[in-house]
Amino acid sequence: MPIATPKQYRAMLDAAQKGGYAYPAINITSLTTANGALKAFSDSKSDGIIQVSTGGGQFASGLEVNDAAFGSIVLAEAVHRLAEKYDVLIALHTDHCHPSKVDGFLRPLLAESRRRKENGQGPLFQSHMLDASELPLDENMTLSVDIMKECVELDIILEVEAGVVGGEEDGHDTSGVAAEKLYTTPEDMMTVYETLNPLGRFMFAATFGNVHGAYKPGAVKLKPTILRDGQKVVMDKHGAEAEMDLVFHGGSGSSIEELRETLDYGVIKMNIDTDTQYAFTRPVVTHICENIEGVLKIESEVGNKKVYDPRSYLKKAEQSLCDRLMKACDDLRSTGQTIHQ
């Protein structure tokens, strides 16, 4: 099945909102991680979202090119082709883009989607994230409106953030942010809704204490009821149809009870990166340790090509990432929920 059309993507989000589940949105950096993600969604019979960050795109472009937008285009085009071999719907998304990177990352990607649409194709990405949470809310919304107008023209959904996800991940570092900014207020949620809803559909990464990175269970203090209370304020004024499509960032270390509670409050997408990074790397380390004399040419020996061939350990990494993502599908209740006919 090719990548979801804009209409199919909206149907995916509608189905998740109505069905009380969310899509894992996994960050990829290579063909190997992309293949692991596609296999996981297919094996789980779950539609899903594959993401590229600025750092991921930069890495994918290679040391010499070192261009986040170009690398993201390369990965997205590859996933468009690979997705044709699977029987679930896949959407492509870009992760945190800060205001300083809009011109060098987000606008070139929008230009590529415009070029594709002029040639009779769909947009390259189905959604993008503008993370202007570092700005005062009024400046955040001004920039969000500007970007969203272009996205609407291209049948692309914009994800925005108000409030700050703490911690550090893939170039996104807010580890020194004041604690009170880790929580989006009902007033913030109302402002976001009333500013963006007249333009079209959007996704909203409201924050409720979530933090990027890896933490032991109990270390991150989430307050999912913030999402409930904010949605209620908006829906009390604007009606049940005003329920927003919310996004959960920084879920590593959260309990399954916390994850699933957010589904009741309108979360339809949850980012996963830290946990799948570890899942990918762990079998590589095991392979190297168990085959150290074959991997290294020790004391002028020749080693063992079968174990230092990158494919020997990257296959294991791909499967391990796949297994972890399938668990995320189970946790978020998207397993078996594909709407692909």
- Residue burial 212-249, b: 16+ Cβ < 10 Å; e: rest: bbeeeeeebebebebbeebbebbbeeeeeebbbbbbbb
The phi, psi pair for 289, rounded to 5°, reads -65, -40
CA max distance for the chain? 75
The strand ranges marked E within the chain are: 23-27, 48-52, 90-94, 127-130, 157-162, 168-169, 172-173, 202-206, 245-248, 267-272
> Which residue type sits at 247?
V
Q: Which residues pair with 13 in a beta bridge?
A: none
Q: Which residue has the tokens 């095991």?
A: 286
Show Cβ contacts of residue 230 under 8 Å, excluding neighbours closer than 6 positions.
184, 185, 186, 188, 189, 190, 206
CA atoms within 13 A on the CB side of 198: 6
**What's the token pair of residue 335?**
């397993």
Q: Tokens standing for 61?
A: 């472009």
Return d(Cα 46, Cα 338) in angstroms, integer: 5
Q: State the Rg of the chain over Cα.
A: 20
Q: How far is CA 341 from CA 13, 61, 97, in A?
A: 16, 35, 34
Active site residue 95: yes
Amino acid at 236: D
CA distance 341 to 333: 19
Among 47, 67, 95, 131, the one annotated catalytic: 95
Residue 118 CB neighbour total at 10 angstroms: 8
* Residues taking part in catalysis: 95
